[in-house]
């Protein structure tokens, strides 16, 4: 009698073992296919362009990895690079997160031990796609703990192809994030597992992967604060258990000691405020554990309340102690980077270098859709479902969702940390939807109510098969379907009738998935696969035209200049010059020395006479600039110029003032109306030197700014044009040596050009003689 | 020296408990037994000798940690990494042992369904090996 009716029949002659075996085989196959899809979709960059290292930071990582692979780990560890930050140099081994390079080095050595002579560059290029497969797997494991295997598979598929993660992990994007997201998810998985089972093994594993994460990415601070936050939330919710103690203590004690092994991190875990939260929660847990132990032996009511008071008191004392130590200077206060997360205007005011990086800008809302597509709609639903069950691990996802959503709104690059959480939550929501609608069980309608339900529009879908009679005779159901819980009237049977409702919903859901795949593929192919070292445009016939100015210029430097020729450029191009041209640079993307960068900014933004002594003092032989005015390449130095001015102004507020570079009406112009400070600046002169000649008398048009450049070219007295690439994107100028006769170079130039000094009168006399 | 945080909290915990117990004794002047005596009695009666052994180790680790911390504050913290390594080894071993104690405690059987006492000991050994690998590396 209690048998429920089915919307469609399932084969009944299959043994449970067969079902279990088949489903586990299917899971393995699906995971393999997901990994394949994750890797394959990241290869657009290689297929469309070539196997090349992308962008800026990866060039440094690649260069460091080459040192590691060719000279060994100790040489890399002790590497002092005299060519970076000329003349200061850089202690690379102590100022780098070595995890990425070490990973590639290990893979390289393993492959070579197996007699597979793979080029180190190919390992570096393909490392990120390879690790994305591991990320998919770890997300599967993580989501499995939240709901079940099917949600895990969905989450793995989502994270495998979601653009928010692909944006930082295409082939060639050899950056720390490439391996860090896998480590992030796996550390979180170990933490959840440790918390659920109360096993020190998983706590130790979490600590080990935390160590790997610390060695790999500066974003490890996210884990350092997420796990304590979760633990604290559980304590405050009254969910303290010995499992929490075991998991957190083993993770923190081993993980913190391990994290201090990385030279770049050093003593920070015990010295800076960013890490104090974890320490505080650790201390709190010890106190609570002790109090619990005492409580289990003494049952006096009064004693227990006193115990609670003392625990709270000790907690407050501990917090006061940390605050006091911070004031006394034992513990470093929050760093500027951290403040800039809370006050989005902070960086622009106090640390322009951080604010000048485009990926540190606040996120525009369309990019949420661009990077996450329909997952962003499912995300809140998934979080709400976590609230419905609210086991310990769901609290984690909720906290993660809140914290990461905020951070993703503050900075574009932190979209990356939000993405895994969105995938997990969306997978939970989506798989709940599928579970509900694929489940063939139909709600039972009691006989007396059957007539009434018939009139109900909801029951109109009920099939009129003979089954219905059976169904109608069944007693009122107790099975609370998931969706049914949303219905207010609990007594009414709820659920889904018939096949057509099911098909309508499931087909819609599948359509969403299909659109998601199409969107991801399109975004990956068009937006995120450009190496930015090589640009692509399309010819009128639709074929691809490669613009290879960067490499052209860097190889020119490599082949036509002495090995020790110092190249000055804005810091964005430092790593590329070091990696591709192999020449010393003044500043690079490490940005550790603000003054040095400001010096370059000052040289670029002041007049030739002022800049020349700076250039000579720093032994600069060549100045390299990026100019997009001819081609319309908008990421050029004139567009970055205001940041150079701002950073220079931060150090020399009396000499460089930002308002001088705007017209009186507050416009940023490069045409005839440009202010004198702009027109005399080295950057302006180098950018537009002989630019007008290209147009042969026609008005010269700057295609980025959309302004007309004056026909008379700026003159350069202290620099010579050495090289300009095919599309004028890279222009290299040679700095002149001092005049042999001791004249000022301006005068010497004037003399050579046959121009006379204005004070001299002889022309008149000479003409008179003639 | 900020590393001093951990020990001071554990000290604080014992101090806090001690203060509460003294208050307790003052309040219960009329009572025949004071709280500490009750506590010890209950502890002695209900705890197995194995757990007492673990507790003795815990007390030793705590004393060792406190002495190192006092040395750091009163004498010198000069090889700071060595201090951190030694102190971290104490704290880490302490929490791992305390975890083991919680896991093998028969009262907690319901909390740790997935961790048998044997498994707990294996976890403890593994955690200690990993911990001391980093300690050894950090001693310098």
Confidence at residue A25, expressed as pLDDT on a 0 to 100 scale: 96
Residue A625 gets which letter from DSSP? Answer: E
Which of B11, B15, B16 should be substituted to probe chain A, the one whose Cβ sees the most A Cβ atoms within 10 Å? B16
Confidence at residue B92, expressed as pLDDT on a 0 to 100 scale: 95
Domain annotation covers residue A486: no
Task: Compute the half-sphere exposure of residue B39: CA atoms within 13 Å on the CB side of its CA.
Answer: 19
Among chain B residues, CA nearest to A254: B131
Dist. CA A15–CA B135, nearest whole Å: 53
A592 at the B interface (CB within 8 A)? no
**B126 shares a domain with B63:** yes
Chain-chain contact of A257 with B127 (C-beta, under 8 angstroms): no
Dist. CA A758–CA A767, nearest whole Å: 16
Give this complex's ipTM: 0.82
Which domain does A296 fall in, by range?
201-334
Does residue A707 carry a pLDDT above 60? yes
Among chain B residues, CA nearest to A288: B13
Confidence at residue A464, expressed as pLDDT on a 0 to 100 scale: 40
When divided into structural domains, chain B yields a total of 2
A200: nearest CB among B5, B12, B96: B96
Confidence at residue B25, expressed as pLDDT on a 0 to 100 scale: 45
Q: What is the pLDDT of residues A106-141, one digit of tens each?
A: 999 999 999 999 999 999 999 999 999 999 999 999
Chain-chain contact of B6 with A283 (C-beta, under 8 angstroms): yes
Q: Kindly give, in sequence order, each residue whose CB lies less than 8 Å from that of residue A60, ignoring residues fewer than 6 positions away.
A: A575, A578, A579, A588, A589, A590
Q: What is the pLDDT of residues A255-293, one digit of tens each?
A: 999 999 998 988 888 888 888 889 999 999 998 898 888
Range with the lowest mean pLDDT among A411-420, A577-586, A596-605, B20-29?
B20-29
Chain-chain contact of B10 with A283 (C-beta, under 8 angstroms): yes
Domain annotation covers residue A395: no
CA distances from A737 to A83, A128, A608, A609, A612 (A): 21, 45, 14, 14, 10
Among chain A residues, CA nearest to B44: A297
Helix, coil or strand: residue A709:
strand
Confidence at residue A4, expressed as pLDDT on a 0 to 100 scale: 60
Confidence at residue A490, expressed as pLDDT on a 0 to 100 scale: 54
Domain annotation covers residue A302: yes
Q: What is the pLDDT of residues A639-664, one digit of tens each?
A: 889 889 988 998 898 888 888 899 88
**B133 shares a domain with B115:** yes
Over chain A, what is the mean pLDDT? 85
Distance from the B89 Cα atom to the nearest Cα atom in chain A, whole angstroms: 9
Does residue A329 carry a pLDDT above 80? no
Does residue A49 carry a pLDDT above 70? yes
Domain annotation covers residue A576: yes
Chain-chain contact of B138 with A253 (C-beta, under 8 angstroms): no
Confidence at residue A537, expressed as pLDDT on a 0 to 100 scale: 82
What residues of B are in contact with residue A303 (Cβ under 8 Å)? 20, 24, 35
Chain-chain contact of A270 with B114 (C-beta, under 8 angstroms): no
Among chain B residues, CA nearest to A329: B2
Q: How many interchain CB pairs under 8 A, A with B?
A: 165
CATH code, domain with A595 = 3.40.50.12610
The Cβ of residue A458 has, within 10 Å, a number of other Cβ atoms equal to 13
**B63 shares a domain with B128:** yes
Q: What is the DSSP string of A235-293?
A: HHTT---HHHHHHHHHHHHHHHHHHTTSTTTTTHHHHBGGGHHHHHHHHHHHHHHHHHH
Domain annotation covers residue B5: no
Chain-chain contact of A197 with B112 (C-beta, under 8 angstroms): yes
In 3D space, the residue among A267, A97, A72 whose CA is nearest the CA of residue A177 turns out to be A97
Within 229-248 of A, beta carbons closer than 8 Å to B belong to 241-243, 245-246
**B40 shares a domain with B17:** yes
Confidence at residue A109, expressed as pLDDT on a 0 to 100 scale: 94
**B106 shares a domain with B62:** yes
**B118 shares a domain with B86:** yes
Domain annotation covers residue B6: no
Q: What is the pLDDT of residues A180-226, one digit of tens each?
A: 999 999 999 999 999 999 999 999 999 999 999 999 998 899 999 99
- Return the bridge partners of A626, or none: A730
Chain-chain contact of A267 with B16 (C-beta, under 8 angstroms): no
**B81 shares a domain with B41:** no
Confidence at residue A531, expressed as pLDDT on a 0 to 100 scale: 85
The larger pLDDT score, comparing residue B140 to residue A13, is at A13
Domain annotation covers residue A438: no
Cα A545 to its chain centre, rounded Å, is 29
Q: What is the pLDDT of residues A430-480, one digit of tens each?
A: 999 999 898 888 877 665 544 444 444 444 344 444 444 444 444 444 444
Does residue A2 carry a pLDDT above 60? no
Chain-chain contact of B92 with A286 (C-beta, under 8 angstroms): no
Confidence at residue A211, expressed as pLDDT on a 0 to 100 scale: 96
Domain annotation covers residue A427: no
Domain annotation covers residue B52: yes
Domain annotation covers residue B83: yes
Distance from the A204 Cα atom to the nearest Cα atom in chain B, whole angstroms: 6
* Domain edge (last residue) among A287, A304, A334: A334
B112: nearest CB among A243, A290, A311: A243
Domain annotation covers residue A710: yes
* Domain edge (last residue) among A302, A317, A334: A334
**B127 shares a domain with B60:** yes
Among chain B residues, CA nearest to A242: B102
**B131 shares a domain with B77:** yes
Domain annotation covers residue B7: no
**B122 shares a domain with B111:** yes
CA distances from A185 to A143, A199, A247 (A): 10, 19, 17
Q: What is the pLDDT of residues A397-432, one digit of tens each?
A: 999 999 999 999 888 888 999 999 999 999 999 999
Q: Kindly give, in sequence order, each residue whose CB lies less than 8 Å from that of residue A57, ignoring residues fewer than 6 positions away.
A: A175, A176, A575, A589
**B31 shares a domain with B21:** yes
Q: Tell me the mean pLDDT in the region B26-40.
A: 60
Does residue A765 carry a pLDDT above 70? no
When divided into structural domains, chain A yields a total of 2
Confidence at residue B28, expressed as pLDDT on a 0 to 100 scale: 45
Q: Kindly give, in sequence order, each residue whose CB lies less than 8 Å from that of residue B3, ignoring residues fewer than 6 positions away.
A: A270, B72, B80, B83, B84, B87
Chain-chain contact of A286 with B27 (C-beta, under 8 angstroms): no
Domain annotation covers residue B57: yes
Confidence at residue A489, expressed as pLDDT on a 0 to 100 scale: 52
Chain-chain contact of A198 with B112 (C-beta, under 8 angstroms): yes
What residues of A are in contact with residue B99 (Cβ under 8 Å)? 200, 203, 245-246, 249-250
- Backbone conformation region of residue A487, classed left if phi is above 0, alpha if psi is from -120 to 50, else beta: beta
Asked whether the whole model's pTM tops 0.80, one would answer: yes
- Start-to-end C-alpha separation, chain A: 129
Q: What is the pLDDT of residues A482-535, one digit of tens each?
A: 444 544 455 566 778 888 889 999 999 999 999 999 999 999 988 888 888 888
* Residue A91 dihedral angles phi and psi, to the nearest 5°: -80, 95
Confidence at residue A360, expressed as pLDDT on a 0 to 100 scale: 79
The larger pLDDT score, comparing residue A312 to residue B14, is at A312
**B88 shares a domain with B33:** no
Chain-chain contact of B135 with A257 (C-beta, under 8 angstroms): yes
Chain-chain contact of B16 with A310 (C-beta, under 8 angstroms): yes
Distance from the A314 Cα atom to the nearest Cα atom in chain B, whole angstroms: 7
What is the largest distance, in Å, between two alpha-carbon atoms of chain B? 57
Chain-chain contact of A241 with B6 (C-beta, under 8 angstroms): no
Task: Compute the half-sphere exposure of residue B26: CA atoms within 13 Å on the CB side of its CA.
Answer: 6
Among chain A residues, CA nearest to B92: A253
What residues of A are in contact with residue B14 (Cβ under 8 Å)? 290
What residues of B are in contact with residue A310 (Cβ under 8 Å)? 16-17, 19-20
What residues of A are in contact with residue B43 (Cβ under 8 Å)? 297
What residues of B are in contact with residue A282 (Cβ under 8 Å)? 6
Domain annotation covers residue B4: no
What residues of A are in contact with residue B82 (Cβ under 8 Å)? none
Chain-chain contact of A199 with B114 (C-beta, under 8 angstroms): yes
* Domain edge (last residue) among A275, A303, A334: A334
- For A212-228, letters b (16+ CB in 10 Å) and e give bbbbbbebbbbbbbbbb
Domain annotation covers residue B3: no
The larger pLDDT score, comparing residue A97 to residue A326, is at A97
Within 290-319 of A, beta carbons closer than 8 Å to B belong to 290-291, 294, 296-298, 300, 302-303, 306-307, 309-311, 313-314, 317-318
Q: What is the dihedral of CA A386, A390, A395, A396, to 10 degrees?
A: -60
Residue A4 gets which letter from DSSP? Answer: P
Which domain does B124 fall in, by range?
48-139
The pLDDT-based confidence of A343 (bands split at 50, 70, 90) is confident
Q: What is the pLDDT of residues A731-755, one digit of tens each?
A: 999 998 888 787 888 888 888 877 6
The pLDDT-based confidence of A633 (bands split at 50, 70, 90) is confident
Does residue B97 carry a pLDDT above 90? yes
Q: What is the pLDDT of residues A715-725, one digit of tens each?
A: 888 888 999 99
What residues of B are in contact with residue A207 (Cβ under 8 Å)? 130
Chain-chain contact of A199 with B123 (C-beta, under 8 angstroms): yes
Domain annotation covers residue A703: yes
């Amino acid at each position: 009698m209690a048998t429920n009716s089915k919307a469609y029949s399932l084969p009944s002659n299959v043994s449970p073992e067969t079902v279990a075996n088949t489903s586990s085989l299917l899971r393995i196959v699906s995971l393999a296919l997901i990994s394949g899809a994750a890797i394959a979709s990241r290869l657009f960059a290689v297929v469309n362009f070539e196997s090349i290292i992308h962008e800026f930071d990866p060039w440094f990582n690649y260069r460091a990895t080459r040192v590691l692979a060719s000279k060994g780990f100790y040489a890399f560890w002790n590497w002092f690079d005299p060519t970076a930050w000329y003349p200061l140099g850089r202690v690379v081994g102590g100022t780098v997160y070595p995890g990425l390079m070490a990973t590639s080095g290990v893979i390289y050595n393993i492959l070579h031990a197996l007699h597979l002579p793979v080029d180190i560059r190919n390992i570096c290029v393909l490392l990120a796609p390879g690790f994305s497969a591991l990320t998919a797997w770890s997300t599967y494991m993580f989501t499995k703990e939240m709901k079940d295997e099917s949600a895990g598979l969905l989450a793995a598929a989502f994270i495998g192809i979601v653009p928010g993660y692909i944006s930082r992990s295409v082939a060639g994007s050899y950056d720390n994030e490439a391996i860090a997201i896998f480590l992030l998810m796996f550390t979180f998985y170990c933490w959840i597992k440790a918390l659920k089972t109360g096993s020190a093994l998983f706590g130790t594993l979490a600590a080990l992967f935390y160590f790997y994460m610390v060695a790999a990415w500066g974003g490890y601070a996210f884990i350092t604060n997420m796990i304590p936050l979760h633990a604290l939330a559980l304590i405050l919710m009254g969910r303290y258990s010995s499992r929490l103690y075991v998991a957190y203590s083993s993770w923190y004690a081993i993980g913190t000691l391990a994290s201090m092994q990385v030279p770049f991190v050093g003593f920070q875990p015990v010295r800076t405020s960013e890490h104090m939260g974890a320490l505080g929660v650790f201390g709190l847990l010890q106190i609570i554990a002790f109090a619990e132990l005492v409580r289990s032996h003494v049952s006096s009511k009064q004693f227990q309340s006193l115990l609670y008071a003392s625990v709270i008191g000790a907690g407050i004392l501990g917090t006061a102690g940390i605050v006091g130590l911070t004031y006394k200077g034992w513990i470093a206060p929050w760093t500027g980077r951290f403040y800039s997360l809370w006050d989005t205007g902070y960086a622009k005011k106090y640390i322009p270098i951080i604010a000048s990086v485009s990926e540190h800008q606040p996120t525009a809302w369309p990019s949420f859709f661009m990077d996450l597509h329909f997952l962003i709609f499912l995300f809140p639903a998934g979080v709400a479902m976590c609230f419905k069950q609210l086991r310990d691990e769901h609290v984690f996802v909720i906290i993660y969702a809140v914290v990461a959503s905020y951070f993703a709104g503050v900075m574009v690059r932190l979209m990356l940390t939000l993405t895994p959480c969105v995938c997990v939550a969306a997978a939970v929501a989506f798989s709940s939807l599928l579970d509900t609608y694929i489940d063939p069980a139909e709600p039972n309608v009691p006989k007396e109510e059957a007539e009434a339900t018939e009139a109900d529009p909801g029951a109109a879908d009920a099939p009129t098969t003979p089954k219905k009679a059976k169904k109608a005779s069944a007693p009122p159901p107790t099975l609370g379907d998931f969706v049914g819980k949303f219905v207010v009237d609990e007594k009414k049977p709820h659920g889904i009738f018939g096949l057509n409702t099911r098909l309508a919903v499931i087909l819609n859901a599948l359509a969403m998935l299909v659109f998601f795949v199409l969107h991801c593929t399109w975004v990956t192919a068009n937006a995120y696969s450009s190496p930015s070292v090589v640009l692509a445009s399309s010819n009128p016939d639709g074929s691809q035209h490669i613009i290879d100015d960067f490499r052209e210029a860097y190889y020119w430097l490599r082949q036509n200049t002495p090995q020790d020729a110092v190249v000055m450029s804005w810091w964005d191009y430092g790593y590329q010059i070091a990696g591709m041209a192999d020449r010393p640079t003044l500043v690079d993307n490490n940005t550790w020395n603000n003054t040095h960068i400001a010096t370059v900014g000052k040289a670029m933004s002041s007049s030739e006479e002022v800049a020349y002594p700076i250039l000579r003092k720093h032994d600069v032989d060549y100045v390299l600039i990026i100019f997009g005015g001819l081609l319309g390449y908008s990421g050029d130095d004139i567009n970055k110029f205001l940041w150079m001015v701002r950073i220079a102004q931060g150090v020399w507020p009396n000499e460089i003032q930002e308002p001088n570079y705007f017209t009186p009406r507050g416009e940023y112009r490069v045409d005839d109306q440009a202010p004198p400070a702009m027109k005399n600046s080295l950057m302006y002169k180098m950018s537009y030197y002989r630019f007008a000649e290209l147009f042969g008398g026609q008005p010269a048009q700057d295609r980025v700014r959309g302004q007309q450049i004056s026909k008379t070219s700026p003159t350069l007295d202290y620099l010579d044009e050495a090289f300009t690439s095919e599309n004028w994107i890279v222009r290299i100028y040679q700095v002149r040596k001092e005049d042999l006769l001791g004249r000022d170079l301006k005068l010497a130039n004037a003399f050579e050009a046959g121009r006379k000094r204005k004070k001299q009168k002889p022309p008149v006399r000479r003409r008179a003689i003639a | 020296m900020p590393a001093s945080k951990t020990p001071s909290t554990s000290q604080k915990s014992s101090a806090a408990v001690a203060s509460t117990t003294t208050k307790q004794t003052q309040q219960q002047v009329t009572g025949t037994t004071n709280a500490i005596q009750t506590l010890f009695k209950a502890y002695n009666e209900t705890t197995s000798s194995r757990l007492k052994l673990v507790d003795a180790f815990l007390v030793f680790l705590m004393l060792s940690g406190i002495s190192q911390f006092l040395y750091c504050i009163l004498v010198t913290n000069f090889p700071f990494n060595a201090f951190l390594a030694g102190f971290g080894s104490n704290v880490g071993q302490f929490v791992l042992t305390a975890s083991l104690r919680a896991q093998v405690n028969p009262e907690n059987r319901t909390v740790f369904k997935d961790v048998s006492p044997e498994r707990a000991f294996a976890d403890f050994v593994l955690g200690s090996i990993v911990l001391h690998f980093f300690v050894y590396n950090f001693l310098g």
